[in-house]
A and B are shown apart, each in its own frame.
Chain A
Amino acid sequence: MPEVKLVNVTKRYGKIVANDGVTLTLKDGEYVSVIGPSGCGKSTLIKNIAGIITPDEGEIYFDGRRVNELPIENRGIGYVFQNIALFPHMSVWGNVTYGPRVRGLSPEEMRPLAIEMLEMIKVNERSDAYPNELSSGTQQKTAVARALTSRAELLLLDEPLGALDVKVRAALRSELKRLVKDLKLTALHVTHDQEEALSISDRVVVMKMGRIVEEGAPIDLYTHPKNLFTANFVGEANFLAGEVVKASGKNVLVELEEGPEIRAEASDQRMGDRVVTAFRPEFVNVETNGVNRLKGRVVDVLYSGSTVRIRVKLGKGSIVVAKQMLHSEAATIHVGDDITLSIPPQRILVYPYPEGGLEKELALE
């Protein structure tokens, strides 16, 4: 269970800087997720750690030992690939024992290791099957087992659930987490699915254009993101631009471009600052007597199982989405209704207005 430390790691591909001075520490036994949109450099980061590529600048340490020049096979890592990559010409058993075998263990030595791993992931009954005979979920479980039979203590997961059905993904998520914690591994998990990252890891790292923008515990990152990009990427959110008209202590009053003034809690904004307020749909209440009232007309009511998303168009055309449990009073709302929304001040985040414009900052590609 090593501690992994990256200092100022930079990797360029021609003009593109895939990793731009990334500094990151994975603590012993920690499960860390890296998220970000396509092309943010998260795959490059994990490949740097594995040794699949060598950084142009910066250092990588495993337990304090510099490993920049150490070839992949000597790094003692387990790596799980998005496209699974089980060796097609070997059975499950052949795949799972591959690591110990090429490391020179005798058949007697590797047998118990492989059996233990296969039992752990519950595919021991299918050890004679070939990969193409298994469902993709089982294949990926086998790939995880293969990565761990040589007793690797650092598990690197490169979009491990990306190729799977949504339903399978959710089921594997919890198995993966259990496995990592039971075996006391250090794990780095790269994904573009924020829900996966939030639910599986101890810490989430958000990347954008080769740099780390923010990191933190899942719940902090979701409820109190420090910047606009994270607020948008880590979950759905409503964004409304405005100007600070009053600031006293932690309380600010923002006059929205939409008209109404809303109260929020923020510390570092001053009067006259142009700002963007952000709030998650589930914190938007449909009620007439709360604070921070916004009036509008319902343009769409979208059900997704137990929750309902109510899309409301405000006076000047901005859309605000409210997400409510289906059995709340929201169930009675219809398209075309005029309604009033309210947002508790402590749920509103305030950010400086981005220089490149709001739309550009919120674009996900």
Chain B
Amino acid sequence: MTKRFGEITALDGVNLSIEDGEYVCVLGPTGAGKTTFLRIVAGLLEPDEGEIYIDGKCVNNLPPEARDTVYMFQQYALFPHMTVWQNVSYGPEIKDWNREKVEQLTAEILEMVRLAERRDAYPHELSGGMQQRVALGRGIASGARILLLDEPLGALDARLRVGLRTQLRQLVKDQGLTAIHVTHDQEEALMIADRVVVLRNGRIEQTGTPHEVYSRPNSIFVASFVGGANFVEGTIIGSSDAGSVMEVLGGLQIKVAVSDVGAGEKAVLAFRREDTWVGEEEVAGSNNLPGVIVSATFIGDSMEYEIRLENGVSIVSKILMSDAFKAYTEGQRVVASFPPEKGHVFPYPVMGLLKEVEAI
């Protein structure tokens, strides 16, 4: 099964193909065109240009009901005048399956989403999590092979959301469905997806497995949006096969991964907060940047240290508080270090660094 997008100007020339049974997350900030993308696939919007293929067949002119896709709205769109049972059996009923088959399937699905006991309840009587499961069950019951999920966990409490991520993926995989899941939560995307598509201003910024997108971002935007990163401005002063060297403010020289940026050019160094280690001593083979802890923020499973380096630049280190974790206090002198291969260098952006990384 393949879907391919030709030139779409509403988005901006999005080309993407998705394999049968794949779980794809489309990740991007508000206004990136994620929902537009999803609605075009569903047939709820018409692309101005370009083609959409499902199983090699162009579906541009097919109405939504004939596309083998089911769209799950962020607000679930459960029919308010129908019970849980009627909602779930809506798809099969409307396709005129025989009664027995419809009843059997509906019962099975309700069992699967653990709502068999609430079959006669109306949507407004259910909690947010339950509504989400009804919507999911309704989608699966319709028999469509492609699940289009628009922020499926967005309306739920944070803690609930985390727990449901794995359940959602499990359900999709168990049913052998293909899923396109739209979200602005990078952690959610990285955890659930087989493949992540990063969207920005209607364009695909990067596509790849979660691991690829996270560890080898191909732009400053991706580095900043997917997981946090530290950004340092500087100039490349030399490159070899083993890696490049960059000079940053204060004359500090930093060894980084091989880059295309030529010597003497202005560049931006990005390295993950999570790849930045904090210790009292230097780490052999790493870049070692001495500095002072400015603040320590506890965020649950990790600690975030803000460190002011000797050249005045502030960087952040995020460290998982596992058994081996050692705490540092504000004002303490430490060495921040990261391995050269974790330092990614990008040409200095035309619009300035801030434009690429600011969240708000």
Contact = CB atoms under 8 A, between A and B. Distances in A.
| Chain A–chain B contact at Cβ < 8 A | yes
Interface string B131-156: 00000000000000000000000000
Given A167-B29, A195-B299, A198-B299, A306 B159 contact: no
B157 A282 contact: no
B359 interface: yes
A282 B322 contact: yes
Nearest to B297: A199
Nearest to B183: A166
Nearest to A199: B299
Contacts of A303: 190-191, 210-211, 214
Interface in A15-56: 37-38
Contacts, number: 133
A218 B321 CA distance: 14
B344 interface: no
A309 interface: yes
Interface in B62-106: none
Interface string B101-132: 00000000000000000000000000111100
Nearest to A175: B360
Contacts of A138: 360
A174 interface: yes
Contact of B298 (A167, A222, A324): A222
A219 B298 contact: yes
Contacts of A283: 322-323
Q: Which of B128, B166, B299 has the most CB of A within 10 A?
A: B299
B4 interface: no
A209 interface: no
A283 B301 CA distance: 9
B275 interface: yes
A140 to B, nearest CB: 9
Interface string A180-210: 0000000000011111101100000000000
Contacts of A191: 158
Given A38-B127, A136-B30, A305-B227, A280 B301 contact: yes
Contacts of A285: 322-323
Q: Which of B129, B130, B191, B322 has the most CB of A within 10 A?
A: B322
A311 interface: yes
A323 interface: yes
A186 B274 CA distance: 32
Given A171-B360, A195-B300, A302 B191 contact: yes
A135 B360 contact: yes
Contact of A167 (B186, B301, B318): B186
A37 B127 CA distance: 11
B22 interface: no
Contacts of A198: 298-300
B301 A235 contact: yes
Nearest to A347: B323
Nearest to B273: A306
Interface residues of B, number: 43
Contacts of B299: 195, 198-199
Contacts of B352: none
Contacts of B130: 365
A141 B272 contact: no
B159 A364 contact: yes
Contacts of B300: 194-195, 198-199, 222, 234-235
A170 interface: yes
A325 B360 contact: no
Interface in B167-192: 184-187, 190-191
Contacts of B162: 236
Nearest to A344: B323
A306 B272 contact: yes
A165 interface: yes
A170 B301 contact: no
A282 B320 CA distance: 7
Given A165-B184, A303-B211, A325-B274, A309 B191 contact: yes
B320 A305 contact: no
Q: Which of A199, A235, A305 has the most CB of B within 10 A?
A: A305
Interface in B222-250: 225-228
Interface in B204-218: 210-211, 214-215
26 contacts: A37-B157, A137-B359, A138-B360, A165-B359, A167-B29, A167-B186, A193-B157, A194-B159, A194-B300, A196-B158, A198-B298, A199-B299, A219-B298, A233-B159, A282-B301, A282-B320, A285-B322, A302-B166, A302-B191, A303-B190, A303-B211, A305-B187, A305-B274, A311-B166, A365-B127, A365-B129
Q: Which 4 A-B pairs have the closest CB atoms?
A: A306-B274, A137-B360, A193-B158, A305-B227
